[in-house]
Structure formats: C-alpha cells, structure tokens
Structure 1
Amino acid sequence: MRVAWRRARADLWPLLVTVLVVALTVGLTDAVPRLLTSRSDAAVRDAVERADPPADLVVTSTYGAGMSNPESGEAETRAGVDDAAVRIQQAMPRSLRPLLGPPAADATSIDLTLSTPKVPSGGVLWMTYLWAGGEPAVRWTSGAAPGPGADGTVRLGLSGAVARVLGVGAGDRFEAKKPDHTVVPVLVTGVFEPQDPHDRVWAARPEVLEPRIVGPDGAPTTVVAGLLSAASLPPARAALEPDGVTRTFRFPVDARALDYAGSRAIVQKLAALESSPDRLNAPGPEPRLTTRLGDVLTQARQRVSATWSQAMVVLAGLAGAAVLVLLVSADLLARRRSTALRTLRARGRSLTDIAARSAAESAVVVGAGAAVGLALGAAAARGPVTWPWVVVVVVAGVLAPPAFATVTAARSEARRVPTDRHRRRMAQRVRTVRRLSVEAALVVLALAALAALRHRGVVSLSGPADLALAAAPVLVAAAGALLLWRAVPPLLGGALRVARRSRRAGGLLALARARSTGAVLPFVALVVVTTLVALCGALAGTARAGQTDGSWDSVGADALVRTPTPSSTLPDVAARLAAARGVDAVAVGRVQARANLFDAPGVDTVRVLAVDPRAYGELLARTRFGAAPQLATLAGASREAATRTEPGPLPALVPTSLVGAHPSLRWAGVTVDLAPVGPAPALPAQQPDGSSAAPTVVVDRTALAAVARAVAAARAAQTGVTLVGPESPVADPDTIWAVGPGAAAAARAVAPTGADVVGRAQWLADRRADPLAGGLLALVALVALVCAGLAAVVVVLDAAATAPDRARSLATARVLGLRGRDAARVATGELLPPTLVAAVGGVLLGVLLVGAIVAPLALRLVTGQAGDPGVVLPWWAVVPVALLTATVVAVVAVESSARRRERLGQVLRVR
C-alpha cells in the first residue's frame, strides 16, 4: 500500500487530471439528460398553454329530427346537456382524465338573422343554453329568467350590452329567421348583468355578454347571443327542428398535468377517440370529437425530438473527447513509469500482475472522479442516473492505464529481429497493412454512421443503436484526424527542407524534433476536441442566426398588423402608421394563404400576395430579403390592367417553375388568367402562426380588383348571375407591414380593434426564451467551453510526455553553444506546428460537419424557420487556435524556467 501511495504521489498531477476529466464528463453527461427531460416537459406544457385556439377536447352532437318536445321542461334539458356532460367525463379513458378539467356545455342554435330598430341592416343571433357545473349566475336588472312556452315563441334573456345594441328590453318581441326563411318569434323576458363576467361558463359564447362586429366596415354584421334557460331550451329546439340546435361539450386541458414522456400515448389515445367517439357515450346521432391537442403535442414532440438529437450529438462528442483525453493521460502515466515497469518485468513480474495493480489504482482514481461527477449531476438535476454515458467514461478511464502499462512493460522484452532483409520488409508490410486496415475500418464506420444519421433525420436518440448514431460526428472527427495525421509528415518534411537552407540552426533543430517526436494519439485527441469546439460554436451561431431569420420568415417586417377580415379602412390605418415616429416604410396588402391555381404543372395551391408593388418593394429593401427589382417590373406591367374594364390577363410574379407558363387563378368566385412577368422575389416563407407558406404569386392589388370585376361583369352579361359587384371587397387589404425601430409600438397604437399585431423583436425574444432553445444553446456553450479546456489539457499532457527527451536534447544543444532564448524557440517550434495543424484542421472539420448534419438534426424546428438554416460560424469558434498557441507558449516558458536550474554536470552525465 505504501509503495502504491508513493507511486501515486510521484505522479499526482496526471492522476488529478484524470479525476477532473472524469468528474466533469460524468457530471455533464449525467445531469444534462435529466435537465433536457425537464425542459421537454416545460416545452410541451408551454405549447399547450400558448395554443391559439385552445387545445380543448370538444364533443359536438345534434339532437336529431323528431327529438324535440316543447313541453318536456327542465328535466329533459338537464338529462340531455348537464347529465350528458358528466357521462362523457366519466367515459373518458383513465389516461386522459387527469389532463381534463371540469366540462362546460352549451346548446346553441344555428345562425339566425334578425332585424331590430337599432340594427336595421340585420344581424346574426345565436340562442344558447350555457352550463358549467350549473347555469350562469346572473342578476336580472329588468324582467325575469326565460321560462317554458307553448305558443311557439322562444323566450330569451339578453345581457345589458346586447339589449342596448339591439334596442330592445324586457317584454319586447322580434323575429328571427332560419336559413330557409322560416320565422321564429322571440320574446325577451328579461335583461341581466353577469355576477362574474370572467366565469368560464361565458367562454363558450362570449357574444352573450358583448356583441361582436364582423365583416367589412362598409357592411358590418352584428353578432349577438341570447341566453336560454333549462326551461326555455325545449321550446327553442322545437322551433328550430330538425337540426337547428347543436350541443357542445368542452373539456379544458390542464397543461400542468402533461409531460413529454406520456405525450405519445396521449396522441394515440386522442386519435382513437376521434375515429370512434361513440366510446364516450355522447348523446345524439353521430357525435364528433375534435381537438387540437394531438396536433399541438405532435409539433411539440417534433421540436423536443430535434433538441434531443442535437443534445445527444453534443454529449456523445463530449464523451468521446473525454475518452481520448483519458487515453492520452494514461499514455503519459505509462511513459513516466516506463523505467519502473520495465524493472518489474525484468524481475519476473507477470504482465497480468502489472495490469491488475494498475487497474486497482485507476479504479480508485476514476471512482473518485465518478463519485464527484455524480454528486455534481445530482445537485444540478434530481433523477435516475444516466448510466450509458457514465459507464462509457468510467470503463475507458479504468481500462486505459492497465492497457498502456502492460504494453510499456512488454516492450522491455527482447524481440527477435530477422536478419533476412526480405523478412524484415514483410514484417513491416504486415504492420502497415494492419494499421491501414484499422484506419480504413474507422473511416468506413464513421461514414456509415454519418450516412445513417442523415438518412434517419430527427429521432430521439436514447437507445443503444441511437447512441452509435449520435457518435457519428465524433467518429468522423477521429477518422478525419487520422487522415490529417498523414499530412503532417509531408508538411514537416517540406518545412525541414526549407530550414536546411537557413544559416541558423534553431529552425532546423525544431522541425527535426517535431518530425521525430510526434505521436498520433495526442494529435487525434487534439483534432477531435477542437472539432467539437468548432461544431458547438457553429451550432450555436447557426441557431441564433436562424432564429433571427425565422423572425423575418414569420413576421416579414418589424411589425405586422392583420385583421380577421379584409377592411377598406386599412390604407388609412397604414397612413397613420407611416406618419408615426420611428417608422421607415409601410406597405398594405391582401394575403390569401390558400388559393387554387389551374394549368400550372406541379402546383395546385398558392399563396396570393396582393400589394402595391412599389410600396412593398420599398419595404422589402429595408428588410433582410433585400431589394426586389421584380416588383418594379410588376408595377409597370400592371399599369394598364389597373384600369381595365374588359377581361384580360393579370400580370403576376410567380414561382420560378411557372415562368413561361399560362396559369389561371381562382379569386372571388371567378377565374383570372395570369400573365407571368417574372419570378417572385424572396418573401417570408411562413405564416404568422408558424405554418409553412405555399408557393407565392404576387399581383398588383388594384389590378387584381379591376381584372376580377371585369371578368365577373363579362360572365354576368353571359349568364345573368352577378358574382362580384362594384362595391365588393375583391382586394380589400387585411395586412399591414411596417419596418423601423418604432414600428412595433406604433402598430400597437394605431391597430384597429380585433386586429392581431405581431412584433418581430417580440417574436424573436419569445423564441430565444423558449425552454428548449435556451437550454440547447446553454448546453452547446458549456460543452464548447469544456472541450476548449480539454484541448489545452491535451497539449499539456503531450508536452509532458515528450519533455524529458526534449530537455536532454536542448541541454546538449546549449552545451554546444545554443543560447537559452534560442532553446525556447526550438521548443516552441517543436510543439507548435502539429498543434496548429490539429487546431486549424479541427475547426475546418467542425464547420463541414455542421453543414452535413444541420438538415438531419432539424435545426429549423429550434430556430422557427421554414427551411434549414445556413451554417454560421461565430468568432469564438476559432478561439481554440489562439488558446492552444498560448498554451504552447506557456508550456515552453515553464520548461525554460526549469532548465535555468540545470547544472553542467547533470547535462553531461552519461546514463
């Protein structure tokens, strides 16, 4: 035990390096998967909470023909609505019950038209019965709650706001009409005020409390709802036979009860329920279950899967780099103990015994490091240990020192060397073939893993086979390092030939030493860890730049204002926005996300962008999309079409594949022939909701309206049917884009009521605050920092391994007249060239690797882009080159300081 302790104390710093490397690697690889799991759960919950419209489970059913009895009373209503909601809740699968909140139900009529003194142009009325554990709590300011009626009149209660808009009160009557123009008499029995306007019972039909105005400003439509009671619902159903009332049972989803692990089963269960809603014991003929929860969870799972893929690739690289550093450390330890190991072997100690003693020491050292790492991982995130990563690092750390010690001890044995030159050549050829076979096998394995990773794409890398795929980048880095190692001797040989022509011996000695002392293992380790730093840097830079590009793809400007329906007043709003401070350019237009296109090979649906080409071109020139000269061409070509009164082609910018074609566009009920005048410019590739946009057709908004009306007028002259009138909102705008530092704030100030305002800066901030994206970038930055430190450690370990030979050769050179300053330059020249080749080669290899794996890792799901982001290398990705250069200089400075204390007798001693 004392001998082992003295031996360990003599080589303390290499053992401490092993402890540090094992602790850092085990701590990171153990904690990160648990942290990612927590972030994945948060991402799933956040996606459900932010879903718009909400991801509730909604069961709908009609009553069916002949199922109404106006005299059935409150009991029938409670059985058909209240009790039905409870039965559906009880029939929900056990796996879904914890996710769902208490149900809310409503029985609502179809759209009924009405006309009252204050709404002479007509409006839309919904008759609705609301229930959420009970009927709404209201206070009747006049009249009373609606009761049963047998005279065919439907009795309703109205909120104060609705009564004021309609101009009616308690006791008043008006008529509502069904779509078949059948008249339904309505009696207002009372006017009420809600006791709690924020009660969830009102969420199903908020029009009961506040009227809603829809449609263009020139012809608005007022939408209101009247409140039915349990007693007045049966007469309303009888008046609206056969299918005039629909029951809706809404189950809110509690996002806090969701997690990533159980989301797959939930998606499958929801799909089964949507295909067989009869399992829920829902009333009525052919009930339906609809929900966005499955789609929301699927999209969230895709983003989580992409993040896991990227994180597993980074962790696999870190584990591989740590293993290589442990191998370099074990090699150094064996070199430092080479004399003692050979002495033990010469005294008769078996190789098995030497390996066992070394394994016992390494087990203690690695075990201490693993314990520290596991403690750090547990402190960072609680949960089960991530054993696959821990086992890889621990096994490598335990087995590497015995292997190198055994090989070093075995070298002390005398080897028989054939005297025949032919046999020596054959033996050398066998060794060369073995070495090349190993290298070729590694290259083939790396390429196969990379090809498999590119083929499979986004997966959750968790199984043993998937971990092998996650290791594809580190395998490629190792294979590339071996190939790069083959280029080092020719480079040093060329430099050596140049140095021989110099009159100074420093460069010649340095290059000769570098050529004779270079080792493949430290070089490969250095290339791999440098590649990982560049890989992490490129991933981080690409992700951040991609998020910025994603904000432009989604918003299209610094601010976007979109109204639910086209409005002729938007140009006035745009004018006020353009006059606001901090707004540089404004454009207004109509965006039709889906429109049918005919006679277009390979394209059936397009996105139509109807704008003022010149104004929109000025706006695009101030965005990342850049100037679009095609828009000026479109403006010139559309000048004649804007005043057209006869049918004719509409100039348009179309997808590149359709230039030269003669497509037709379906718009406002008519078919308009398009005349392509050029390819569409680079435009936002996504809708504001994040969905990918269809191929885009850009037209002049004024010309579109003129041509559509001309085509409609010609068709009306032939058929007598008018589809588009002179006042129809054929191309009224629904979108405003604005750029400038104050565009977002100004847009919120002038946006009309009900409009959706999206700021690009806010979109970008939300994306960067996303738990998945933020966690991934933090992980990448941390691993890059650790790998940079490991690269410096490799340089120090490699320099320490060759330090004794370098000290003897430089001391001898100093005795022969080499100055101390020149000796430092020789040492620098010996260590620096291989280090720089490895560092620069690793950076280039890392950038190439990112370009190869951006698509299969689906980084676009993290950045929010429509397509794969372009590779962006941040400046700090090349820091390892400067860091390793500084490390070499520091090592040489330390060695030079140690050589100042050498004595001439020690230098000249013959050993």
Structure 2
Amino acid sequence: MSAAWRRARADLWPLLVTAAVVALMVGLTDAVPRLLVRQADAAVRAAVADADPAADVVVTSRYGAGTSDRTAGARDTTTGVDDVARRLDDTLPPSLRAVLGPPVASASGPDLRVSTPALPTGGLLRLAYLWAGEEPSVRWVQGGPPGGAGPDLTVPVGLSRAVAETLGAQAGDILEARTADGGVVSVLVTGVFEAADPGDRTWTALPEILQPRAYGTSTRTTVVGGLLSAQSLPVARAALEPDGVTRTFRLPVDAGHLDHARSGDVLRQVAALEASPDQLLVPGPDVRVASRLDLLLTDARGRVDATRTQAAVVLTGLAVGAGLVLLVAADLLARRRSAALRTVRARGTSLAGVALGTAAETAVVVGAATAAGLALGGLAVPGAVTWPWVLAVVAVALVAPPACATATARRADPRRAPTERQHRRLARRVRTVRRVSVEAAVAVVAAAATVALRRRGVVTLSGPADLLLAAAPALVAAASALLLWRAVPPLLGTALHAARRSRTAGPLLALARARTTSAVLPFVTLVVLSTLVTLCAALAGTARAGQTDGSWDAVGADVVVRTDSPSASLQDVADALSDAAGVDAVAVGRVQGRSQLFGVRGVDTVRVLAVDPGPYGALLARTPSGSPAQLAELADASDPARAGAGPLPALVPAELLGSTPSLRWADVTIELQPVGEAPDLPAPATDDRAAAPVVVVDRATLTAVAAAAGSAPDAATAVTAPDTVWAVGPRAPAVARDAAATAGADVLSRERWLADRRADPLASGLLALVVLAAVAGTALAATVVVLDAAASAPDRARALATARVLGLRGRDAARVGLGELLPPPLVSAAGGVVVGSVLVGGLAGPLALRLVTGQVADPAVVLPPWVLLPLGVLAATVLVVVVVESSARRRERLGQVLRVR
C-alpha cells in the first residue's frame, strides 16, 4: 500500500490531469442530455403556447335538419350541449386527457344579414349559446335574459352594450335578419348586458358577442353576436332550419402539461381523432375533429430531433477527443513508469498482475473524478444521471491506463530478433500492412458515416440520426489526422535538409529532435480536437449570421405591417411611414398565398406577390438582398394606365418561362405574359412558400387588367387592395407601431424576430453547447501539448544539456526546445482548422442548421476569426512549456545532468 502511494505521489500530476479530464467529461455528459431534455420540453410548450391561431382541439357536430322543436325547454339544451361537453373528457384517450382543459361549448347558427338605422350598410349577426361549466355570468343593464319562444315566433336574444350601441338597439326591439337563401328571422332583444368578467374563457368561443369586429377592404363588414340562453336555443334551432345550428366543443391545450416525451402519443391520438371522431360519442350526423396541435407538435419534434443530433455531433466529437486525451495521459504515465515496469516484470510479475495493479490505482482516481463530475453535473442541471454517456467516459478512463501499462511492460520483455534479412523484411511488411489496414478501416468507416449523414440528414423517418452518424465528423478528423501524419516526416525531412545549410546549430538540432520525438497519438488527438473547435466555431458563426439573414428573409425589411384580410387602410399606414423622419423606404403590396394557375402542366397553384416594382425595388436596395434587376424589367413591361384587355406582365419561375399560363384572381381569369424569371425575394418560411412557386406582378396593372377582364372598378380595386407594408429605416418599427394601431394590423419588426429566434430554447441552448464544447476542446488540446512535452522532456533535457556543454547558449537552447516542440502542434492545428472548415461546409445542410437560423434554405457558411483559436492557443502553450523548462534548466548543474546513470 505504501509503495502504491509513493508511486502515485511520484506521478501525481499525470493522475491529476486524468482526474480533471474525467470529471470534466462526466459532468458534461451527465448534464448536457438533461439540459437537452429540458430545452426540448420548453420548445414543445412554447410552440403550442405561442401558436396563432391557437392549437385547441375543436369538435363540431350539427344537429341536422328536421330535429328541432321550438317548444322544447332548457332540458333539450342541457342534454344536447351541456351534458355532451361534460362527457367529452371521459371519452378522450388518457394521453389527451392530461393535456386538454375543460371544453368551451357553443351552439351557433349561420351568419345572418342584418341592417339597422345605426348600421345602414348592414352587417352579420351570429346567434350563439355559450357554456363552460355554466352559462357566462352577465349583469343586465336593460331588460333581462332571453326566455322561451317570443311573440310571432321571434328568437329571444341578449345583446352586449357594445353590440347594442353598434346596432342602435335596446331591450324590446325586434330586428329583421336574413339567411343566405333570403329567409327572414325575427330576433327579439330581451335585454342588454355587460359581462361580469370579459376575460372569462367562455367568451373566447365567439368574441363578437361582447365586442363587434369589422373586416373587409373598401367595404367594411361589421360582425356582431347575440347571446342565446338554454331556453331560447331550441327556438333558434327551429328558426334557422334547414341551415341548422352547429355545436362546437373547443378543448384548450394546457401547454404546461406537455413535454417532449409525451408529445408523440399526443400527436398520434390527435391524428387518430381527426380520422375517426366517432370514438368521442358526440351526437349528430356530421361530427368532425380539427386541430393544429398535431402539425405544431410534428414541427416542434422535428426541430427537437435536429437539435439533439446537432448536439450529439458536438458532444460525440468532444467525447472522442477526451478519450484520446486520456490515452495520451495513460501513455505518459506508462512511459514514466517504464523502468519500474521492467523491474517488476524481471521479478516475475505477470502482465495480468501489472494490469490489475494499475487498474486498482486507476479505479481510485477515476472513481473520485466521476463522483466530482456527477456532483458538478447535478449542481448545474439537477435530475437523474444519464448513465449511458457517463459509463462510456468512465470505461475509457478505466481501460486506458492498464492497457498502456501492460503494453509497456510487454515491450520490456526480451525478444528474439530475426537474424535473416528476409525475416526482418517480412516483419516490417507485417507491421506496415497492419498499420495501413487500421488507417484504411478508419477512413472507410469515416467515409461511410459521412455519406450516410449527408444522405439521411440529422432527422430520419425513424427519429434522430444514430451515434455512428453523429460520430462522422470525429471519424473524418481521425482519418485526416492519420493521413496528415504521413506527411509530417517528409515535411520535417525537407526542413531538416534546409537547416543543414544554416550557419547556426540551433535549427538543425531543433528539427532533428522534432523528427525523432514526434508521436502519432498526440498528433491525432490534436487534429481531432482542433477540428472540433473549428467545427464549433464555424457552427456558431454560421448560426449567428444565419439568424441575421433569416430575420431579413422572414420580415423582408426593418418592419412589416400585415392584416388578416386586404384593407385599403394600409395605404394610410404606408403614407404615415413615408412622411416620417427616420424611414428610408416604404413599399406596399398584396401577398396571395395560393392562387390557381392554368395552362402549365405540373403547376396548379402559385404564390402571387403584387407590388409596385419601383418602390419595392428601392426598398430592397436598402436590404442585404439588394434590388433584383428583374423588378425593373417588370416595371418597364407594365402599364398601369391601360384600359383595354390583355395579358398581365409577370415575373414567373424558370419552369414557366416560354408558356402562356392563366391566373385565377378573385372572380376573373387573367392571362399572364412572362417577362422574366422571378427573383429570390425575402419571404417567411411558410408552407405556402415551400410548396408554391412565386409569381410577381405590378399591383396597379393587376387592377387595370382585373377591371378589363370583367370586374367592376370598385371590385377590381378591392381585390388588389394591399395586405402588407414593408419599411426600412432606424425609426421604421416605432412609426409602424403607432400608424398600425388605428388599422388593426399586426406589426413585426426584424429586431423582434431576431430576438425571439435567439431566445428560442433550442437555438440558444445549442449555441451555448457549441461554445462550451469549443472552450473545452481548446483546453483539452492545450493539455495534450503539455502531456506530449512532458513525455519527451527527460530526453530533451539531456540533449540540450549536452549541447550547452558544447557551447550552446541558454537562449539558443530555449529556441531549440521551441523548434522541437512547435512544428507538430502547428501542423496538427492547421490541419484541424482546414478539416473543420471543410466539414462544416459539407454538413451545414445535413445538420439542418436552417432550423436554428429560421431560414428557408441552408445558411451560407461563415467562418468567424476565432476558428484560428487552436493555432494561437497551441502556440502559446508550447511557448509557456519552453519558458517553464528553460527556468528549470537554469537551476541545473551540467555535471549532474551529464552524469552517467
């Protein structure tokens, strides 16, 4: 026991290095998977919580024609609506029951046209009964709640104060409403109410019951609602036949109860309900289930799988590098104990005994380091230990020292050397074949993994890419390192040949020492770690730059103002932006997601962008995308003032050039005249953009052509009314918010989009992991340099001491040491930088970085300046090692150093 302790004290610092590497990697491999799970849960919850429109599960059921009874009382409503809503939760699958809240039930009829003196242009009236555990709580300011059938078969309803003021109605008034087929429905206003809690979720079923809303273009349509009671719903059903009344049960999704692990079951159950809604046991002839939850979860899970595999690529590379560092440390430890190992072998200790003794010492060191790493990982990210990754690191740390010690002891055994030249040549060939076989195997596996990763990407039909694909960059780095190692001796030989012509002995001695002391394992380790650091730097730089480009792609300007439906009021917003200081350019347009296209085989729908080419081109000129020349061609070919019919000049996709397509726009069919290829314009990453080609037309010319094709002038202007305004300039976002407040439009600034994207849990977590891996990889690379220098330090000290006896000055001795140690790290770091830069260029697409950046296409690779970090750190480490060794040599006595031992 005392001998083992003395041996450990003599080799304390290599053991401490091993312990530090093990603790670091155990902490990372323990904490990072848990952190990824938390980020995945946060991403799934954010995707559902921020969904617009909401991801609620909506169940609809019609009563059916001929099933109404106007004399039925409140019991009919309770049975057909309230009781169905109460039972709905019991019929849901358990996985959905845990994430869906209590339903908000409503029974509403079709839109009715209504006109009053206060609303002479007319509006739409929607009658509805609402229930969410009970009818909504209201306070009647006039009259009272609606009861049963009114006089002359009128339908009793209650109106909110805001709706009553819009219609100019009060308690006791009778409103005449018309159905779509011209039928008349008499509506009796029994009272006017105020909501006790306007924020009650019951009102979310039909918000227009509380507050009127308006939509439309040049002609605004006002939508109002009337509140039915349990007693008046049967009357409304009878009055509204044959159109009937539709029951709607809206089940809100509680995002707080969602997580990534259960999202797969939730997704499948929602899809199953949409396909087979009968299992809900909702009465009615036409039961349907609709929800965006399955689409949102599919998208979120795809992003999570991609991010996890991106993280696995980084973490696997770091684990491989750390494993190689442990091998280097174990090899150094075995070298330092080579004399002791020869002694114990000479005394009869078996190789198994050597391995067992080293394993016992290693187990103590690794056990303590593992405990420390688990404590750090648990402190950083509390949770259950992720044993698979941790055990992989611990296994390498436990096996490496005994293996290296056993190999060193075995080499100490006396061996018979063949005396015949033929046998010696055969032995050399065997060693060469073994070496080449290993290198070829590594290269083949690396090539296969890389090809598979490029073909499959980070996400496959069965889930995230497997561990072999995640290890592809590390395997490529190892194969490149072995190939590059073969180039080191010729390079040093060439440098040595040139050094022989030097008038001083320093360069010759340095290169001669470098040629004899270079080792393959530290070199390969440095290449792998340098590749990892470069890859991480390039990934971080590409992601940050891609997010900025994605903000321009998604917004198209510094700010964009949009409305749900086209509105002429957006022109007022554009005018306010144009007149404001700090706004450089403004453009107005109409974006039609899907329009029918005729006359071209294989293309049925297109995405139409109707803009004013001049202002839009001037705006794009102030963005990174620049103004495409095709917009000028479109402006020259367009004629907004023409009055006759004719084809509409358009920029079309390349596959439509040379054809004569026709576009269905509103109620007319317009023939297109392709005048050029549609440029790649900024647009958000939507399904419409991904699926449909883009057609760009002049908005004013479109209005003229639509009018000539048969639309009334007012209708032609209405169908080309804008729904989007873009603006660039330092004050554009602030001005847009103020101007859009009166138009009821949505405002999205590029800075807001970029901030949201960078705050995304998946994107921010991945970038943090990449930076952490780069820092850890750099620290491990510096550790390898120190370990490699320590392995050759005794021989170097004796060689430099001899050279000093022969007249070499101390300063020149330091330069010789620097020349000996510097070439391999510099060559390996430079090779790693090149390999990492090439890798990120080939893997940016397969790694799906576009999911991190928010771009439609794969981002362009950006190499930040700190990709050269390995070169600088390794050179600085070598310099520090040389300075430390030179300081130690100043205290040496040459006689003591040169004494024969």
Q: Same fold (TM over 0.5)?
A: yes
The answer as to whether partners of 2:458 and 2:464 remain within 8 angstroms in 1 is: no
Counterpart of 2:863 in structure 1 is 873
**1:687-717 CA distances to partner (integer Å, 9 max, x unpaired)?**
57997473221111111111222222xxxxx
Counterpart of 1:141 in structure 2 is 141
- Higher mean C-alpha deviation, range 745-754 or range 598-607: 598-607
Letter in 1 for 2:666: A
Deviation at 1:414, TM superposition (A): 2.3
Within 5 A, what are the aligned runs for 1:733-744?
733-744=722-733
Deviation at 1:549, TM superposition (A): 1.5
Structure 1: distance between partners of 2:430 and 2:282: 78
Deviation at 1:336, TM superposition (A): 0.7
Deviation at 1:730, TM superposition (A): 3.0
Deviation at 1:728, TM superposition (A): 4.2
Structure 1: distance between partners of 2:685 and 2:19: 52
Structure 1: distance between partners of 2:184 and 2:89: 37
Within 5 A, what are the aligned runs for 1:356-371?
356-371=356-371
Counterpart of 2:111 in structure 1 is 111
- Higher mean C-alpha deviation, range 784-793 or range 420-429: 420-429
Counterpart of 2:790 in structure 1 is 800
**1:222-252 CA distances to partner (integer Å, 9 max, x unpaired)?**
1111111111111110011123211101111
**1:161-208 CA distances to partner (integer Å, 9 max, x unpaired)?**
111111111111121111110111111111111111111111111111
Within 5 A, what are the aligned runs for 1:94-243?
94-149=94-149, 151-216=152-217, 218-243=218-243
**1:486-531 CA distances to partner (integer Å, 9 max, x unpaired)?**
1111111221222122222211111111111110000000011111
Counterpart of 1:696 in structure 2 is 694
Structure 1: distance between partners of 2:438 and 2:716: 79
Counterpart of 2:881 in structure 1 is 891
Counterpart of 1:863 in structure 2 is 853
Equivalent residue of 1:79, what SS? helix
Equivalent residue of 1:737, what SS? strand
Structure 2: distance between partners of 1:659 and 1:826: 69
Evaluate the alpha carbon distance shift between residue 377 and residue 672 of structure 1 in structure 2; reply closer, same or farther with a 3 A threshold.
Answer: same
Structure 1: distance between partners of 2:693 and 2:864: 33
- Higher mean C-alpha deviation, range 498-507 or range 432-441: 498-507
Counterpart of 1:882 in structure 2 is 872
Structure 1: distance between partners of 2:798 and 2:496: 21
TM-score normalised by length of structure 1? 0.96
Structure 2: distance between partners of 1:70 and 1:778: 65
The answer as to whether partners of 1:309 and 1:461 remain within 8 angstroms in 2 is: no
- Higher mean C-alpha deviation, range 418-427 or range 614-623: 418-427
The answer as to whether partners of 1:724 and 1:730 remain within 8 angstroms in 2 is: no
**1:533-561 CA distances to partner (integer Å, 9 max, x unpaired)?**
11111111111111112111211111000
Deviation at 1:321, TM superposition (A): 0.8
Deviation at 1:665, TM superposition (A): 1.9
Deviation at 1:601, TM superposition (A): 4.9
Letter in 2 for 1:471: A
Evaluate the alpha carbon distance shift between residue 723 and residue 271 of structure 1 in structure 2; reply closer, same or farther with a 3 A threshold.
Answer: farther
Counterpart of 2:599 in structure 1 is 599
Equivalent residue for 2:669, pick from 671, 687, 694: 671
Q: Determine what percentage of the aligned residue pairs are the same residue.
A: 66
Evaluate the alpha carbon distance shift between residue 250 and residue 849 of structure 1 in structure 2; reply closer, same or farther with a 3 A threshold.
Answer: same
1:707 aligns with 2:705: yes
The answer as to whether partners of 2:589 and 2:611 remain within 8 angstroms in 1 is: yes
Equivalent residue of 1:95, what SS? helix
**CA-atom RMSD, angstroms?**
1.8
Structure 2: distance between partners of 1:463 and 1:835: 39
Counterpart of 2:384 in structure 1 is 384
Structure 1: distance between partners of 2:439 and 2:527: 16
The answer as to whether partners of 1:306 and 1:460 remain within 8 angstroms in 2 is: no
The answer as to whether partners of 1:668 and 1:724 remain within 8 angstroms in 2 is: no
Counterpart of 2:894 in structure 1 is 904
Structure 1: distance between partners of 2:562 and 2:593: 13
Evaluate the alpha carbon distance shift between residue 30 and residue 225 of structure 1 in structure 2; reply closer, same or farther with a 3 A threshold.
Answer: same
The answer as to whether partners of 2:565 and 2:723 remain within 8 angstroms in 1 is: yes
Equivalent residue for 1:840, pick from 819, 823, 830: 830
The answer as to whether partners of 1:643 and 1:703 remain within 8 angstroms in 2 is: yes
**1:81-129 CA distances to partner (integer Å, 9 max, x unpaired)?**
1111111122112222121212111111101111111112211110111
Deviation at 1:27, TM superposition (A): 0.4
The answer as to whether partners of 1:141 and 1:193 remain within 8 angstroms in 2 is: yes
The answer as to whether partners of 2:139 and 2:194 remain within 8 angstroms in 1 is: yes
Structure 1: distance between partners of 2:668 and 2:491: 72
Counterpart of 1:716 in structure 2 is none
Evaluate the alpha carbon distance shift between residue 445 and residue 726 of structure 1 in structure 2; reply closer, same or farther with a 3 A threshold.
Answer: closer
Structure 1: distance between partners of 2:465 and 2:94: 34
Counterpart of 2:562 in structure 1 is 562
Equivalent residue of 2:623, what SS? coil
Equivalent residue for 2:810, pick from 806, 820, 833: 820
Equivalent residue of 1:591, what SS? strand
- Higher mean C-alpha deviation, range 663-672 or range 242-251: 663-672
Structure 2: distance between partners of 1:153 and 1:195: 27
Equivalent residue for 1:658, pick from 656, 659, 672: 656
Structure 2: distance between partners of 1:460 and 1:707: 47
Equivalent residue of 1:342, what SS? helix
Equivalent residue of 1:699, what SS? strand
TM-score normalised by length of structure 2? 0.97
The answer as to whether partners of 1:669 and 1:723 remain within 8 angstroms in 2 is: no
1:299 aligns with 2:289: no
How many residues align? The count is: 899
Evaluate the alpha carbon distance shift between residue 493 and residue 407 of structure 1 in structure 2; reply closer, same or farther with a 3 A threshold.
Answer: same
Structure 2: distance between partners of 1:45 and 1:460: 23
**1:366-392 CA distances to partner (integer Å, 9 max, x unpaired)?**
111111111111112222221221111
Deviation at 1:278, TM superposition (A): 1.1
Counterpart of 1:325 in structure 2 is 325
Equivalent residue of 2:719, what SS? coil
Counterpart of 1:719 in structure 2 is none
Deviation at 1:461, TM superposition (A): 13
Letter in 2 for 1:811: A
Counterpart of 1:748 in structure 2 is 737
**1:734-791 CA distances to partner (integer Å, 9 max, x unpaired)?**
1100111211111101014321111110011011111111111111111111110000
Deviation at 1:895, TM superposition (A): 0.8
The answer as to whether partners of 1:18 and 1:329 remain within 8 angstroms in 2 is: yes
Structure 2: distance between partners of 1:273 and 1:176: 37
Structure 1: distance between partners of 2:185 and 2:637: 54
Within 5 A, what are the aligned runs for 1:237-386?
237-386=237-386
Structure 1: distance between partners of 2:569 and 2:396: 71
Within 5 A, what are the aligned runs for 1:314-713?
314-459=314-459, 466-638=466-638, 641-686=639-684, 692=690, 694-712=692-710
Structure 2: distance between partners of 1:567 and 1:889: 69
Equivalent residue of 1:96, what SS? helix
Equivalent residue of 2:709, what SS? helix
Structure 2: distance between partners of 1:186 and 1:392: 75
Structure 1: distance between partners of 2:685 and 2:609: 12
Structure 2: distance between partners of 1:507 and 1:566: 77
1:854 aligns with 2:855: no
Equivalent residue of 1:665, what SS? strand
The answer as to whether partners of 1:140 and 1:192 remain within 8 angstroms in 2 is: yes
Counterpart of 1:715 in structure 2 is none
Evaluate the alpha carbon distance shift between residue 405 and residue 262 of structure 1 in structure 2; reply closer, same or farther with a 3 A threshold.
Answer: same
Letter in 2 for 1:478: A
Structure 2: distance between partners of 1:687 and 1:900: 66
Equivalent residue of 1:184, what SS? strand
